[in-house]
Structures are given as structure tokens and as C-alpha cells.
Structure 1
Amino acid sequence: MKDTKGETELKKWLSISLSVLISSGVLAGCSSDNSKDNPASSPSGTASATAQPTAAAQDDMKEKLELNIMTISYEGGGWPANNSMIDYLNKKFNIDLKFQWISQDNYKEKLNVLAASGEFPDSFLLLKEDFLKWRDKGIFLDVKPLLSKYPNLAKNLGGEEQLQFMSPKGKYYSFPYYQIETQTSFGIRKDWLDKLSLKMPTNLDEFYQVSKAFATQDPDGNGKNDTYGFSASLVANKTDFKHVDPIKAAFGLVDNWGLKDGKLISWHTQNKELKDFAAYMNKAYTEGVLDKDFAINKVKDPQDKYEAGKVGIDDVVPNVFYQTLVPNLKKVDPKAETVQLLPPKGPTGLQGTSTNAITQRIVINAKIDAKKQDRLLKLFDYLMSDEGNTLSKNGIEGTHYKKNGDSYEKLPAFDQDRPMLISAWYLRRFDLNTQIRLWDDKTMVDNVNQWFKNSEPFKWPNLAAGLESTTDTKNGVTIDQKFMTTLIKVIMGEQPLDAIDAAVEQWKKDGGDQITKEYNDAYLQSK
């Protein structure tokens, strides 16, 4: 009998009443329209007509300034206050740099707490829905009038298109957080395939049979029934799944929004595809092929379970795969071997893999004074320079690495200090090899790039990624959570498959039809 810890907790979550979901401002990310008319209710504490400076003050950097930055911690932890990178940047820019590294599972809650207090950091990372929710309330600095002083920002962050993205015409309210489009891909335990005399799966049926063998035929040889074929989780705000995008795509589901007959449709309205996907997942859940804790897993839990040798297939980031996942897995099983698994073909031959849109944005608080704006932008501009890019990816020469002739050697302090976090989790260049280090083996670098290249033909983009729907911004999270509650119950066998039809109609009635109209209007205007 597999460990089913957390199922009681999961059932409690699934039984949360609709009234609680609707009233939960923190979970739903809802905001009242009152802030448009009442300056005191705006998270910035100012009216939405807050004046934006046209040029930052000249700053000779003689005065020491405190700079506060908040971002998502994707793999736990961050820099402590005495980190060598903090010390280096503090000295170079005469600043007292303070980072808040917040878990991706708690980030939205933290943002809403800050919004309620009106005390945002000097600069912080935002997901699309929060950026759009607060974009026109005078909270974010328009950096466009200032960029002429900071050429590296204009040059190395995707150019005007990316700087303008999701801001009103003529405004740059954010910098893009760069993500490789086809950043993740399924990885599979080849040593488990070989041990069980299995072939690499190419379609959903074969994927299931291999996953079932991984779950039932003791691939790790420990004599226990303690492995799963694959795992999953929910995204942080519980509005979608994570780690199973290729399965969704194979059944013909769109990535949030896609085109049908020239119009945008939401995956929440694809009855047949949803039922096919849910039936597949229900079978996997019932037969112990899918991780029983999939719906209460934190975002990173499936990767942790893969590294622990408890899951045979997971979607991985190639850079992280070679630099972190492989070493960790080798400690558990020195014979472990992972290879890339291309997206399985669905019943009609469809294939797709996780595809990022650059909708995460880095903003500067418009409330900070012009001198602090300039210091912060100088720091950002430096990080985008050649010298700063080398620093943010590799750390400090002599501390985190050293040069030996024509080659480089990583020093132990690199793994202890993790100097690359400012690049990996905050601000970085548009560069496919943004997480490749000076000392990385050329073969490994070639392998990473080959994974990206192999995934390229299977892009599965969200076609509404850069578009805006005011109804979605205000109510989308709430109605999506409600929809997901039903879908999860169907997968767990607590509701029949036909419950999806009612969930689709309820989603439309609760605001989905209006959201669809607004996205289609925005789509037509963007063409």
C-alpha cells in the first residue's frame, strides 16, 4: 500500500465552500473597484494619477541608500544578509541591499499583505494577473523616460517589444523576467526502462503502460511498492496543473487560451478534451500510477520526489537537470540515468510541451524618490552589462571561481553562496544560456542546448498571454479555482465524469463568457 499521506488534508481543501473561495481576497487575488475612486484604498497609498518623474535625479552615490527587493524563491531559501554577493554589490554601489526571497507557494499571499499595508518593496517581481491588477494605479514607475541613461537595460532585455509588453502604449511600467520558451521537458529514468525491458514511450498509451510499470514492478529494486510513474502539482494559486502539460496538450487542450475557428477559446470550455484528460488522470490515480498527493503537492514536490527516486517521469529544466537534479539523484542511486522524453502523441497525433510566455514582470515602486530610482537603475544596468552578467551568473572571481589558464574552476563557495540567484530568480539577460557557467563542460552545454532544440517543434503557447481582460484580472482566479475543485474531484473519483459539463457551464456563467469576449476583443485589436 503506497503512502497516501495528505489525502485527509486534500479532502479538506476540496471541501472548501464556494462562499469561502469567493470571499478570500488573498487566494483569489481580487481587488475592489473602490481603489479607482478612493486614493486611500489604492495599494500605493496614492491616487492612480500619481505623477511619474521624467528623469531620475543625478546621483553621485556618496549617500548610502537602502534598496529593498522581493522575488520568488523557486527552490527554497535565498541569500542571507551576510552573503558575499550582497557585500560586493553593497560596496560597489554604496547601498544596503536587502532581499526578500518568498516561496512561490506563498508569493501571492505575501503580495496581498503588502498591498493591504501600502508598503511595497523598492522593486519586486509580479505575475501577470497582479501586474495587470495594479498597473494603472500609480504603483509602478514608468521607466521609459529614464532608459537613455541605462543603455544595457535597453539593449539586453529583449528590446522595445518586451519593455512595452503589457504596458499602455508609450509606457514601460516593467522589465521582463526572461524565460526560455521551451524551458521544460519530460525526463525519464532510462535505467528503470532498461531494468524492466521497456521501450521509450511515444504516445499516451505507451506513456501509461511505462508509468504503470514504474509504479508496480519495483523498478528501484528495494522490494517495496513505493514508486509512482509520474507526479503533478497545482500552480501556486490553484488555478491549473503543473508538471503534466504534455499530457494536457496531447488530448487537445489549449494552454489556457488557444484558437478555434479564428477565435480564442479557454481550456475551461473544452468539454470533450477535458473529459478525456480527466478520465486518463483518474485511471492513473485509481491504479496508483499518479502520485496520490498530486493535488496538495507544492510546486516543486514532483521534482523533489524524482530526485529522491520515487517518481520515474517528471518535467525538468535542462540546466537544473545537469547542475542539480543529476547530482542529487546520483546520491540516492549511483546507477540512475535520465534521458529526455519527447511529448507523447495523443489520440489524434497532437503533441505539446510546457511553453513559457514572458509575463512575469519586474517593477520599480513609483513611491521611491528619484535618487533611489537612479541607484536602483544603475544596479540593474550593471547587472545587464558584460561584467555584471558574468558576475550574476558565476559569482565573484577568486571567491566563487578561479581562472586556470584558458579554463575556469568552480570553488566550493559557489554552492554555498549561490551567487547566481539574482540572475536565476530576478533580473537576467535574454540569453538561452543564462544558467550556463564559465566552468561548465562543453558536452554538458551542448546537451542542454540539444534539449531545448528537441523541444522547439512542440511549442504549446498561451495565445492570450499578453492580452488583458479586466474581468479575468478581477475574478478569474476565483472562478478558475472553483472549476479546478470539480476537475480534481473527478480525477480522484469523488464526482462522475459528467460533472465536468456542469463545471464548464458554471465557469461561463460566473464570468467566463465575459472573459472570453474581452480576450477576443483584445486579440482582434492586437492584430
Structure 2
Amino acid sequence: MKKAFIGKAALCLTVAAAAGCSGQKEAGPGGDAGSSTAPGDKSEKIKIEMMAASWTGGGWPDNNHPVIQYINQKFNVDLQIQWVPNANFAEKLNVVSASGKMPDAIRVDSGMFLKWVNEGVFLDIQPYLSDYPTLKNVAKPEEWALLNPKGKLYGIPIYETAQNSLYVRADWMENLGLPLPKADEFTIDRFYEIAKAFTTQDPDKNGKADTYGFSALGNSLQLGNPQLLAAFGIANGWKEENGKLVPMETQADEWVRFLTFMKKAYEEGVLDKDFITNTNFNTKYAQGKVGFAIDMHYQFSQQTNQQLQSIAPNGKFVELSPPIGANGMRGTRTPSSGMLKLVLSKDMDEKKRKRMLEMLDWWVSPEGEDIIKNGIEGVHYQKKSDGTYEMTDALKAEGEGRQSLLWNWMLRGSSNTFNIYKWSQPKWAEEMEKSITNAKKYPYKNASDGYLSSSETFTKQGKALSDKFLQSVLEIIAGKKPVESIRDTIADWKKNGGDKIVEEVNTAFQAKS
């Protein structure tokens, strides 16, 4: 199967890359039909090395993938991708850096970026960006500036958007005769009423008291419940207030209200009794034990529904808006574009730099997105007689999404098309976009993005302080400490380094404001 897949790709690419297989407008000699940048001289083949983290399934096993072949031919490059398992990525980057030979492009997270940005190893893209308008418009100016020294742009922002929402077991609601709550009526009190019914009224009709309203995670201060934290006015890490950044650890009154709610839920069995040992929600959602799925995205909801329906044929999670708190607050976790970046090596010569930026300018254009996300027509998908598209058998065998690793794991543009492909079912694509649009309605950003890592105290003590704070939160919820003891926990956090973190973060914030 794999040999046939690669063979067909090679045949397809031999016949004039753009015209024969991709269905795209053919580029002129050495040019690019999808970019407004004047084409450069591509007579010399240039080797380009890129390194990125990989997750489940790993990266492509070699550099002969059809998408790489397409890029190689289009830009006369020899694109070499090094996929590194995410768990080992930071270690690998240290080794590569120590060798003195950095790859031409690396995808890094904010911690890695800040560790290396002042070491003089990344290319400042600022002087060249105006020549590549598609690439320049991949992010807003403030997203480009995020984490960078003033006046410098040492990395290309990788687009991120709110995707996660609150989901509920629609079949359980129907079994209990409960209507799905409308967005403007869904208060935190209504959330609790429904969650308690899921615990006490046998929503799965199996005659057993084995269901919970909602669950939580015991390994994170957010407890895996950002929509609930938002309803109680607790920051998504940090919030801006009166021109200063305020950490969630100092919000005493908000924590008292939230922990009162969570402790009651635990005592009444509304909150999953085993939540402290949870590291993810996947199993309990799929096993039909929990009624509300908090911080879930649409694609995962559909995967969960498929798993769920193997034991509960009518089981189905559907999306709701986040609950409204007494202060009118609501939100869904909103990442910042720019906390992930594609950085380029400063050591590349002018020819390689121009070729690289021209390639990346195309990469985030509509034409580039089509190829890098959907793959090659005739290889990964084919057009049917009715004008719609379908995956090829080869891609079905390899797995949907495997053709788009460069898009998902290296660099993506700002189109609202996460995991939507040419062959996606219209209803699925429509619901996916709708879910992302809904999540964007309730922004809940971390105001410290770009500033927190500038705190030396946070770098040295932040995790230990957070772990100790979390331990108190878990003990309060489980009834081992009174709710008001959170005020002592806050005082302890501040005294043992928290106040210094706040001071250092705000110094960095004021310097960039």
C-alpha cells in the first residue's frame, strides 16, 4: 500500500506539479501563482532542514512524502524534516544547539523561544517581512510582537484560536425531561441543578448510582475546568486590572466562592469522587460516567460520541455556551497566537533566506494551505463526478490528517479551518466552524502571555509554588480543610515568592505597555 502511495505521488508530481494533480493554478517559470511576492531565482537547488515536535503516530517516516515532493519541485529545494517526539523535544534542542549547527527552521514553544531568543541564534525577520505580504498578514502586529524584544521579530507566530467549549449528554437531558439551556439562560446555578440531576436521577436508566454531573483534573490549578473558573471570575492564569497584571493565586474572594461551589459538588456526589487522580477526561466521557464534558472541542466530541455509542447507542455530547456567573462573567479558554513560533536560523545565507521566506509566504497562502493541509489531488483525495471530494484508499489506510502534519505541527495560517478538509462532510465542516465561532464569543485569555517567563523567580520557584497551592485547593474540595483556609494559602504563596513574581511580571508588562 505504501509503495503504491509513493509511486502514484511520484508519477503525479512528474507531470508538472501544479497542473496535473493538485488542481491548482500553474505557476510561471520559477514563480508562484499564489503569492504576491516577486519570484526569486530558483536555478540553484537549496537544502532546507526543519525540526518539529511530533505526537501520536509520529512524523512521516522519510522525506519522500508527496507533500514534501511537491514543495521540493515547486521551490527547487531539498526539504529535510526531522520529527522529534514531543516528550524529548526540549532535550533534543539542547543537544542540537550545543553542536553549533541549528536546523534552518524549528517550531518552538514559548519557554524554548525565551530560552534562546537572546543567544543570537534566531533570524530577525523584521527587516524582510514587508517583502512577503501573505506571511506578514498571518498574524496581527501584537501577535508578531509577543515574546520578542522591542523592535525585533525572531519568530513567525503559529495561529491558535479558541476551540474548546462545554458539552452535555443530550440523551441524558432527554431521559430526564430537561430542555437544553439557551445561552442567555445558562447560569452557573442552572449548571449545578442539571449536574446534580445527572448524579441523583439515574440519567442512563441502568438502575445504578454510577454517574456524575461533572469531573475535574487533579494535576492542574485550573482543574481542567476553565469555563467554571471563568464563571466565578477567576483569571485564566492572570488578568489585567487597573493597568496591572493580577495572578489567579491572589483572588481570595473569587477562590472562596469557587471552592464553596466545588466542595458542595464533591460532598453531594455531583463532582466525580475520583477527580484528584484524573490526568485526563477521555476514559470517563467515553465510558458514559459523566454528564458535562468541560473544555472539549468539536472533533473530540465526535470521537467521544463514537466510543460512547458502542455502550450507549443513543449517547451523544452536544455543545453549550459556557455558564454565566453571578457577576455576569463567562468564558472559554483562549490561547494566544504567537506563544508558539517557527524560528529561522540566523546562519543561513541570503539565497537560502530568500528561498525560505518565499516558501513560507506561499505556505500560508490559500494555495499553500490547500496543498499542505489537504495534500495532493489524486494521491490523498480525488474529485467525484458530482464535484465533491473523497479521500483515497491510500489515505484512509494511512489515516485522515496524516497528510497535514506540516500544517498542524510546523506552521499554519489564520484561516478558521482546523481539521476541515476538502472531503469533510458538509455538516461536519459546518459544525466544526460553528463550534470555533461560538468559542470565540467568550474570550478568556491569559493576560500574562509574553510576560510570565520574564520573571526569574517564576522560572525558579513557580512550579513549586503552584503545586503547593494546588494541594491546598484539592484538600479544601475534598473536605480536609475549610474553604476560608484558602486565604492562608494565598498569603503563603505571596510570602514565599509570589509577591516577587507579581513584581517582576508587572515590570516586564509596564516596559512593553
AA aligned to 1:98 is Q
Measure how far apart 1:194 and its partner are.
0.7
Conserved 8 A contact 1:77-1:101: no
Conserved 8 A contact 2:226-2:295: no
TM-score (norm 2): 0.77
Counterpart for residue 195 of structure 1: 175
Q: Are 1:154 and 2:136 matched, yes or no? A: yes
Task: Give distance in 2, aligned partners of 1:372 and 1:296.
Answer: 50
Structure 2: tracts of 5 or more residues without a match: 1-39
Q: How does 1:373-384 map to 2 (within 5 A)?
A: 377=357, 379-384=359-364
Equivalent residue in structure 2 for 1:126, among 108, 125, 148: 108
Measure how far apart 1:428 and its partner are.
0.7
Conserved 8 A contact 2:67-2:371: no
Q: Which moved more, 1:374-383 or 1:312-321?
A: 374-383
Counterpart for residue 438 of structure 1: 422
Change (3 A) 1:259 1:378: closer
Task: Give distance in 2, aligned partners of 1:151 and 1:213.
Answer: 54
Task: Give distance in 2, aligned partners of 1:113 and 1:81.
Answer: 18
Equivalent residue in structure 2 for 1:358, among 308, 322, 337: 337
Change (3 A) 1:421 1:117: closer
Q: Are 1:340 and 2:326 matched, yes or no? A: no
Conserved 8 A contact 1:192-1:220: yes
Counterpart for residue 6 of structure 1: none
Q: How does 1:281-430 map to 2 (within 5 A)?
A: 281-298=262-279, 301-315=280-294, 318-321=297-300, 324-364=303-343, 366=345, 369-370=348-349, 377=357, 379-404=359-384, 405-415=386-396, 416-417=398-399, 418-430=402-414
Task: Give distance in 2, aligned partners of 1:313 and 1:138.
Answer: 48
Measure how far apart 1:376 and its partner are.
5.4
Equivalent residue in structure 2 for 1:512, among 476, 490, 498: 498
AA aligned to 2:254 is E
Post-superposition Cα deviations, 1:56-113, rounded to whole Å, max 9, x if no partner, equal x987563655x3422263xx333340584566467544233221242xxx47xx4256
Measure how far apart 1:501 and its partner are.
1.8
Change (3 A) 1:409 1:123: same
AA aligned to 1:482 is K
Structure 1 residue runs of 4 or more that deviate by more than 6 Å after TM superposition? none
Equivalent residue in structure 2 for 1:479, among 460, 465, 477: 465
Measure how far apart 1:178 and its partner are.
0.9
Measure how far apart 1:136 and its partner are.
1.6
Which one has the largest radius of gyration? 2
Task: Give distance in 1, aligned partners of 2:332 and 2:80.
Answer: 42
Change (3 A) 1:122 1:511: farther
Conserved 8 A contact 1:129-1:473: no
Structure 1: tracts of 5 or more residues without a match: 1-56
Counterpart for residue 123 of structure 2: 141
Measure how far apart 1:452 and its partner are.
3.6
Task: Give distance in 2, aligned partners of 1:213 and 1:338.
Answer: 16
Change (3 A) 1:153 1:171: same
Task: Give distance in 1, aligned partners of 2:139 and 2:42.
Answer: 27
Measure how far apart 1:150 and its partner are.
4.8
Equivalent residue in structure 2 for 1:470, among 435, 442, 455: 455
Post-superposition Cα deviations, 1:364-413, rounded to whole Å, max 9, x if no partner, equal 36376447766655553442233320122222212221112532123344
Counterpart for residue 190 of structure 2: 206
Post-superposition Cα deviations, 1:302-350, rounded to whole Å, max 9, x if no partner, equal 1453244332222355551476444444444332233222111223332
Task: Give distance in 2, aligned partners of 1:376 and 1:172.
Answer: 16
Counterpart for residue 483 of structure 2: 497
Counterpart for residue 34 of structure 2: none
Equivalent residue in structure 2 for 1:230, among 214, 221, 224: 214
Q: Are 1:454 and 2:438 matched, yes or no? A: yes
Conserved 8 A contact 1:71-1:101: yes
Q: Which moved more, 1:241-250 or 1:304-313?
A: 304-313
Change (3 A) 1:61 1:388: farther
Equivalent residue in structure 2 for 1:176, among 157, 166, 185: 157
Change (3 A) 1:446 1:112: same
Task: Give distance in 1, aligned partners of 2:315 and 2:267.
Answer: 28
Task: Give distance in 2, aligned partners of 1:412 and 1:226.
Answer: 42
Task: Give distance in 2, aligned partners of 1:455 and 1:312.
Answer: 20
Aligned residues: 456
Q: Are 1:69 and 2:55 matched, yes or no? A: no
Q: Which moved more, 1:506-515 or 1:379-388?
A: 379-388
Measure how far apart 1:175 and its partner are.
1.4
Measure how far apart 1:359 and its partner are.
4.2
Counterpart for residue 203 of structure 2: 219
AA aligned to 1:258 is K
Task: Give distance in 2, aligned partners of 1:367 and 1:524.
Answer: 30
Measure how far apart 1:473 and its partner are.
4.3
Q: How does 1:36-51 map to 2 (within 5 A)?
A: none
Task: Give distance in 2, aligned partners of 1:85 and 1:296.
Answer: 43
Task: Give distance in 2, aligned partners of 1:121 and 1:482.
Answer: 39
Task: Give distance in 1, aligned partners of 2:334 and 2:156.
Answer: 20
Task: Give distance in 1, aligned partners of 2:231 and 2:496.
Answer: 28
TM-score (norm 1): 0.75
Where 2:369 maps in the other structure, the secondary structure is helix
Conserved 8 A contact 1:90-1:97: no
Conserved 8 A contact 1:90-1:96: no
Change (3 A) 1:287 1:131: farther
Conserved 8 A contact 1:167-1:173: yes
Measure how far apart 1:499 and its partner are.
3.4
Counterpart for residue 245 of structure 2: 264
Conserved 8 A contact 2:50-2:79: no
Post-superposition Cα deviations, 1:474-516, rounded to whole Å, max 9, x if no partner, equal 5433322332232223223343334322221122123222222
Task: Give distance in 1, aligned partners of 2:69 and 2:41.
Answer: 23
Change (3 A) 1:309 1:426: farther
- Give the % identical residues: 34
Task: Give distance in 2, aligned partners of 1:147 and 1:60.
Answer: 23
Change (3 A) 1:58 1:310: farther
Task: Give distance in 2, aligned partners of 1:309 and 1:379.
Answer: 47
